Chains A and B, each alone.
Chain A
């Protein structure tokens, strides 16, 4: 057993944990397809950022940034809604290089 885990006497009751603790649980490893973003084609309409169900696409100063692959599950919604086809879904093992 992992000795870092708390005993039932030292835990918060009812399974309560600190807020936003889901950020610690990186779920991107489930992915079999990954979105490949072409920055040259992108018109920064932010459709993908709005539609991403896992909040993996963030904007900085009105510009789209790289997809956060720590949480991206490869659902492909961003590629589907992109009006200029700037996002392509590639197989995880083939598109491994960023």
Chain B
């Protein structure tokens, strides 16, 4: 039935191998980009075919075993893929947005000297990400999990000659290792705990079936899920491990859009969704997730208020939106979280690609005028809407969507999350307050970005400002498609209260409903409350937009006064609450000191001494034994005879 599922990750893998091995010889950008994008598109077609097949299928869970991996005792591990509504949504997002971003990259990376390397990495990323979402057991998922981490590292450090890029790549990798450690610990404990009950498995379907063997709300399940959650905070940039994501913007912009906004960073949310049965059984973990998600949404939004680098604003916005998704997962609104994951993929990819289009245009203009201004600094922009109309319109649509203005995609998903965080049996009104406040700030900083970039006077250097071109069609087509999706993508999940059928929720229900019923998770409250909350959050968003308009269009001198007035507060959020400095002080520097001690004191003196001593002894034995090999036949024969005598003697005595 679904036997061609393996083709979905296979196509990008082939693309990565072809471009990786032969890209240098092919040289032709059109061919390299065509191969990568074409294969990604094929993968999308197969994904779409499977998606629609699943849509019409009564049976919603399908496993495809590709090969046996290992079998030890009772434990059987396969290379297997799992298609259910959850992974079906994910493969559509990954291959769909992935294809568009591949197409975009052809234009964006034009002229780069290692064009082929970029596409090889990008394809490899798509392969790893698809393994992650399609993996039928935790180990296949882990391979994808590590694979996307590797590709993220390679692509953040793509401009490896730049010191800041390679440092950012290292930071991302190391911070993610902390999270991966949590993931692995969770995996080990879960495996051990289930094995204790006689179930030897890592298969997701079997884990879901035997989750009830563990004590609901018990210590064991709490530890397991907390470990997994630690893994999720690393990959999805949540408190406390969010610091790498803003630095990851050192990578090329399509990478930021694909990996650090639309797909990889949502892996943590996906993973919680995949194991929702376990998480639902651990109320303490759920509460932790909700609080961490809410706080991340709030704090990242505050930092976003004061940044001047266009990509950094979007980076903090991403962290903040991921916070929403975790908030949703934490209050048990699993399908709402995945819904927001999808709409966010549309509008945030569009925003990143739009910012890339702006950067690309400015870069071109500066290059033309032989200037070295920073093309990412919003203070050098302004008035670009006339120069780049398509970029502007798509960007505006996505901004409205992320701000939560009714009838754009972001509104439906964000509103569902806010409603659940208030009304869910696992929710709390304070969580709603965090979310609503973050929504207001989101509207503010996003429109601040739009106003600073596209409206007002052109602040670009006079020599360059007339040379900003609209981007080529490979860039504008993805923008238009994504902008369109950002506009209408929410209509598959219109809530019942607004007269919709919430088909998205119904589609995902087979994955989540069981855990929600079994653990009594549901949202309750009157329609009046729901309408009121909705009205408040829309009002907050409009206030945010209005404030931004007042400050950055009507009275452009206002922000300066504002900063002067609240210099202390501004400094704190401008410097990202000094979190990086705090981590340097608490973790990085002590680790370095301990490391230096272990190196100079323990490693060089003790460990090396022991190792070299052993090596010396072993080598000595080796050279000694070598002399038995005299080369003379009679010696050899003699040793044989001795051997025979010893063996016979061994048996006789």
Same complex origin of A and B: no
